[in-house]
Structure 1
């Protein structure tokens, strides 16, 4: 009877010690978070240079047949800032592509993997290209209407995987999503005040804050 009682007491002590250890770990994690205050990176779309934005179709006839093909060549300048004082960021994989009204209109462009130190700023200038990309019939009509109106809204999207670095500790991977709206002016040589026209190429000074989610 005494041996059974001693065994039960040891088990209760073991469980109590285990729970105390778990609670201690949770407290340490909370204190580290409270001290470091990790903040997601900030993205700004600085400019966009449009070399090609050509829609084949975009009228009622094309909408009926579904023959709407969009060719896009745009170079963008994306600036990413790490706002943290004590946390570095590893960008393990970052893809950039363009969308129009929720539909992807260019394949993803892979950016080189990089590390961003405390308070550092990284600037990427990738090309996003889409050659004769099929678009939904109704979107073809809307692109044509927007171009005729002289103003098209596209979104530069960023999808990636990042890790946080605190001292020698490196976290697991987190999903990064950024959405950068860009208004582009077209038609009749009428370009907006934030654009520079060189031949058939227009460069847009945007300095547009992006919506970032981690």
Structure 2
């Protein structure tokens, strides 16, 4: 009799544990389903990015490397009414003809509320960054001509926040075109928008000092 009672007790205990596990699993599935429905109903839009200014402070063209210092002013806007954005990681760098000319600078993690705007102004630099010879030659020619086209890029991870629910991490990639034009003699003259910056261009075959100005704020392409 004692063995039968023991087996019955074990069977009852197993049924209770199985029932509790099933209830917990069902609760998790229901909460996940509700969160998914809310997420799909709200349809979060990707944030908008704008390049407000780029000051190219110096460029040193070596062979076969390049050193540059620049400060960028980058703005981001969350267009959503009910969805917040967690910027978990943001690395900013500058490229010329798809070649990095500064090393990535990490911005601090940031939460962006509904319809909020966030502005960053990091200083970017690169010391003896390896570049192809034709890239250095092209940059010398562009500076001499008075026009330099750069790209400010952001690589990072974001999460969406709806109430207390936070989504998984998504890859964020931003690309902002930046046109700089000469404001010196023979250049295009002062521009009404953007900030002035002096760029010293050194290296073999180039000893010119060019005054370059960011022409105007631009919108950025954003991929999430």
Whether the 8 Å CA contact 1:94–1:111 is kept in 2: the answer is yes
Q: For residue 56 of structure 2, what is the aligned residue in structure 1?
A: 50
Q: For residue 131 of structure 1, what is the aligned residue in structure 2?
A: 127
Residue-pair matches, total = 185
Deviation for aligned residue 1:72? 1.1
**2:161 paired with 1:165:** yes
**2:69 paired with 1:69:** no
Q: For residue 44 of structure 2, what is the aligned residue in structure 1?
A: 38
Distance 2:197 2:111 in 1: 35
Which residues of structure 1 form unaligned runs of 5+?
1-23, 57-66
Deviation for aligned residue 1:68? 3.0
Which residues of structure 2 form unaligned runs of 5+?
1-29, 200-210
Deviation for aligned residue 1:199? 6.4
Please report the RMSD computed on the Cα atoms of aligned residues, expressed in angstroms: 2.7
Deviation for aligned residue 1:186? 3.8
Deviation for aligned residue 1:69? 2.5
- Give the TM-score, by structure 2 length: 0.73
Deviation for aligned residue 1:109? 0.4
The CA deviation string for residues 61-118 of structure 1, in whole angstroms up to 9 with x for no partner, is xxxxxx2332211111100000011110111110000011111111100101110000
Structure 1 residue runs of 4 or more that deviate by more than 3 Å after TM superposition = 24-31, 186-189, 194-203
Deviation for aligned residue 1:49? 1.5
